[in-house]
């Protein structure tokens, strides 16, 4: 017993340089990541700037109760969930389809050129992408001038609420599809090519090969990306919405993150309430991540973290 204890200290002394290497990162992590977690106390308090976080009065769960009786908060929760579910249904499968299409297309050079194009928008911020696409989709923009030229009516892509939400999905795909496809393409590349040969000998059609070999082969990758996406269900894409929205559609795409932003930087902010809404969001996200991890792990044997 004593011997073992001693050897632990010996081991730690032996690893002293390792600890020294970890020191700067953990000092930073504790100040800038765990520091704000201390501020979560505010969710249970009524913030008083003069008395600081610790000195402010406790209000128990009042801030959380308020979430469910504030119409804007409730509608932002609904919008968040709806937009996220829409993304899971429409955006989530798109890179999988893209990866399969790239895999099926012939011509090495052409593939490379296309991939270069597809991935590029990922490296731009939503500030930039929103500027480009807002201009493109606006009432006086290129798409509408094309529609006019074809003798069709102009379409209010950005100032019609349901259309704006579909534009969120479309522009989301526009920016992210190429980048998100990379992980699936790497997975496809890892599939044993002899499986395809064997299937061909057995007379399987191309579609059957895609379904039974390609899709089956990347099943675990799909599962992992799905877990991560479900863990972000309460996010719904702040960067995109914050940059693309306008006064007309604003309330329709008010999500939790934009709502928190709004009440934090309002003329008379309520920090306690804003923190509570933020915490509500993070806790649900975290719970969903764990739940998705367990469920998918149980269904497919594929887990993000054990």
Interface with other proteins in residues 52-71 (CB under 8 A): 53
224 near other proteins, rule: CB under 8 A: yes
Distance separating alpha carbons of residues 225 and 98, to the nearest angstrom: 15
212 near other proteins, rule: CB under 8 A: no
Distance separating alpha carbons of residues 16 and 261, to the nearest angstrom: 43
List C-alpha distances in Å: 162 to 98, 137, 249: 26, 15, 9
Q: What is the H or E stretch that residue 46 is in?
A: strand 45-46
172 near other proteins, rule: CB under 8 A: no
Question: Of 285-304, which residues contact other proteins (CB under 8 A)?
Answer: 285-286, 289, 304
264 near other proteins, rule: CB under 8 A: yes
Smallest distance from the beta carbon of 194 to other proteins, in angstroms?
Answer: 20
List C-alpha distances in Å: 222 to 183, 218, 271, 297: 9, 6, 39, 12
271 near other proteins, rule: CB under 8 A: yes
Smallest distance from the beta carbon of 4 to other proteins, in angstroms?
Answer: 12
237 near other proteins, rule: CB under 8 A: no
Distance separating alpha carbons of residues 239 and 130, to the nearest angstrom: 10
Question: Of 185-204, which residues contact other proteins (CB under 8 A)?
Answer: 186, 189
> Which among 65-73, 161-169, 195-203, 263-271 is the span making contact with other proteins, rule CB under 8 A?
263-271
Burial class (CB in 10 A: 0-12, 13-18, 19+), 173: middle
Can you tell me which residue has the tokens 């520091």? 35
Smallest distance from the beta carbon of 92 to other proteins, in angstroms?
Answer: 15
- Would residue 254 be called left, alpha or beta, if left means φ above 0 and alpha means ψ between -120 and 50 degrees? beta
144 near other proteins, rule: CB under 8 A: yes
Smallest distance from the beta carbon of 81 to other proteins, in angstroms?
Answer: 19
Smallest distance from the beta carbon of 170 to other proteins, in angstroms?
Answer: 9
Can you tell me which residue has the tokens 């950005």? 158
Q: How many residues bind other proteins (CB under 8 A)?
A: 96
Question: Of 94-133, which residues contact other proteins (CB under 8 A)?
Answer: 98, 101-102, 104-106, 114-121, 123-125, 127-128, 130-133
């Amino acid at each position: 017993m004593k011997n073992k204890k001693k050897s632990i200290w010996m081991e730690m002394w032996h690893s002293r340089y390792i600890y020294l290497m970890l020191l700067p990162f953990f000092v930073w992590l504790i100040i800038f990541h765990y520091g704000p977690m201390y501020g979560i106390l505010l969710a249970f308090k009524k913030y008083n700037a003069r008395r600081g976080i610790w000195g402010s009065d406790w209000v128990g769960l009042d801030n959380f109760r308020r979430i469910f009786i504030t119409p804007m908060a409730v509608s932002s929760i609904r919008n968040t969930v709806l937009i996220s579910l829409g993304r899971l249904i429409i955006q989530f499968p798109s890179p999988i389809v893209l990866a399969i299409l790239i895999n099926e297309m012939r011509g090495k050079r052409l593939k490379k050129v296309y991939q270069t194009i597809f991935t590029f928008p990922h490296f731009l911020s939503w500030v930039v992408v929103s500027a480009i696409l807002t201009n493109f989709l606006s009432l006086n923009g290129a798409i509408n001038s094309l529609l006019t030229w074809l003798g069709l009516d102009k379409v209010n892509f950005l100032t019609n609420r349901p259309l704006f939400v579909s534009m969120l999905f479309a522009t989301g795909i526009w920016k992210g599809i190429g980048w998100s496809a990379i992980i699936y393409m790497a997975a496809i590349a890892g599939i044993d090519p002899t499986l395809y040969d064997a299937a061909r000998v057995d007379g399987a059609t191309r579609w059957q090969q895609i379904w039974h070999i390609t899709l089956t082969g990347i099943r675990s990758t799909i599962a992992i990306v799905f877990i991560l996406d479900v863990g972000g269900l309460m996010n719904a894409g702040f960067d995109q919405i914050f940059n693309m929205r306008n006064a007309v559609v604003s309330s329709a795409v008010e999500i939790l993150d934009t709502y928190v932003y709004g009440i934090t930087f309002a003329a008379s902010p309520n920090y306690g309430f804003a923190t509570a809404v933020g915490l509500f969001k993070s806790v649900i996200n975290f719970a969903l991540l764990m739940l998705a991890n367990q469920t998918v792990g149980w269904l497919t044997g594929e887990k993000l973290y054990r």
